[in-house]
Amino acid sequence: MSNNYQLFKTDILSKSSDISEVLGCTPLISASVRVTSRCQSRCCFCSTNSESSSLRFEEESSCNIVNWLRQLSFFGVQRLFITGGEPTLRSDIGQIIKGAKSLGFDVAMSTNGLNLNSKIIEELQNSGLKHLQISLHGIAETHDRLTGIYGAHESVINAIHLSTQSLENVSVAMTISLDNLCEVELVIEEALEAGAHWVAIHPVMAVGRAKADSVPKLKDVITVLDNLKDVNKEHVAVMLPPALVPSWAQNKRFGFGYVCTFPDMLAIDDHGRVAPCDTLLSDMNWQLGNIKTHPLDEILTSECSKQWRDLREDPVRNLGGVCKQCKFLQLCCGGCRALSYRKNGGWNLPDIWCEEAFDSGIFPESSLCKQ
């Protein structure tokens, strides 16, 4: 089937009510799209297991990718996260972002920072990029070791400095593992000194190349966060479920912590495979279809997508564990359901961090519903 879907049912998918008739429930909220598998880094915790910069297959053209985005827009998607691999290795990344912007998306993009220079940053600015997320996982030697690139740390610091001179929303993302837990404060200070507007802290996920034995204990993560200097806390987003966000962060700009839009989201990889979220793209059982061979409306209404549609009807139905007692249930909807599914094999258990907190007796009483 052709990729040319310009006439893709725009007349019947123009209103929320029409979308509901197709999907059986409300419009989608967000989507992530991997525009390449290429990456210069070899991060030991890469969730997508990205490859070296040599092409393993012919990448989709920017025109085709924008066509995928057009189909996403018909289902109400507003927020788009462009990922990879390393998106800036595509010479047409500006065209993709500009196309997304023209469709009405709020566009964010992740980058390792190694390829950022004044020319690319200007292109990102002119394309309408709303948020640039740059990865920084440790101070000098640590970042270089974790990413497998000598000199990467210096390049990233320079990229942060250059980016913040032109872009209005530049964040730094630090993935916390046992290898860098002791450097959280130092990374925050380095990032802010380089000009980053804020820093997102999130524990590593045992997905892709990341190993389970690299994941820190939640109590140790909380201890590190609680001991941050007050001046740094003002600029930190704690990417944990709302119930676990430290008390000092609850009245800050990012006080809600990490609230996933699942199941009101989709992910598409650079092969065209569609899944309910990025974490599930590698799970054959949750690949809903391929947008290169079938239009999105066929994929989302197919029998393969029925379980996903059922989840969307009532996201918190049958949730067990501490979720049943948590006052954030309707906001959080069980945290990262994909990680819980990968660990436990079902959709009825809570976010893995909340589960750990409850089982170890450190789940905040203030996050529980009053009896």
Q: Are 181 and 201 in contact (CB under 8 A)?
A: no
For the chain, where are the alpha helices, taking DSSP H only?
A: 16-23, 62-74, 93-102, 118-127, 140-147, 152-164, 184-194, 218-226, 230-233, 296-300, 306-313, 329-332, 337-344, 352-359
> What distance in Å separates the CA atoms of residue 245 and residue 237, rounded to the nearest whole number?
9
C-beta separation of 68 from 80 below 8 A: no
| Whole-number percent of the chain with pLDDT over 90 | 65
Does pLDDT of 2 surpass 50?
Answer: no
The pLDDT tens digits for 116-127 are 999 999 999 999
Tell me what pLDDT residue 51 has: 53
Task: Give helix then strand counts, H and E, for the chain.
Answer: 14, 10
Distance of alpha carbon 312 from alpha carbon 302, whole angstroms: 15
| Pairing, β 273-275 against β 79-83 | unpaired
Which residues, 6+ apart, have CB-to-CB distance to 239 below 8 Å? 200, 201, 202, 203, 257, 258
Q: How many CA atoms lie within 13 A of 289 on its CB side?
A: 18
CATH 3.20.20.70-classified regions of the chain: 16-216+261-300
Under 8 Å CB-to-CB from 107, ≥6 apart: which residues?
80, 82, 97, 100, 101, 128, 129, 130, 131
pLDDT band at 53 (very low <50, low <70, confident <90, very high): very low
Nearest-5° Cα angle at 318, 217 to 287:
75
Helix (H, G, I), strand (E, B) or coil at 132: strand
CA-to-CA separations, 40 to 65, 122, 232, in angstroms, rounded: 22, 22, 30
For range 44-56, the mean pLDDT: 62
Among 88, 93, 87, smallest CA distance to 127 is for 93
Which two tokens mark 300? Answer: 């989302």
How far apart are alpha carbons 134 and 121 in whole angstroms?
12
- CA–CA separation, 152 and 34 (whole Å): 22
Lowest mean pLDDT among 110-114, 195-199, 213-217, 287-291: 213-217
Distance CA 38, CA 42 (A): 10
Quote the Cα angle for 333-290-296, to 5°: 65
CA-to-CA distance for 151 and 167, rounded, in angstroms? 24
The token duo for 234 is 């003002």
pTM: 0.90
Q: Which residue has the tokens 């390829």?
A: 115
Confidence tier at 8 by pLDDT (50, 70, 90): very low
Q: What's the mean per-residue pLDDT of the chain?
A: 88
| 66-104 tens-digit pLDDT | 999 999 999 999 999 999 999 999 999 999 999 999 999
pLDDT tens per residue across span 299-330: 999 999 999 998 888 888 788 899 999 999 98
Report the CATH number of the 16-216+261-300 domain: 3.20.20.70
Q: What pLDDT digit, counting tens, does each position of 249-282 carry?
A: 776 666 567 788 888 999 999 999 999 999 899 8
- Output the CA–CA distances (angstroms, integers) from residue 207 to 80, 161, 342, in the order listed: 22, 31, 9
Residue type, 65: I
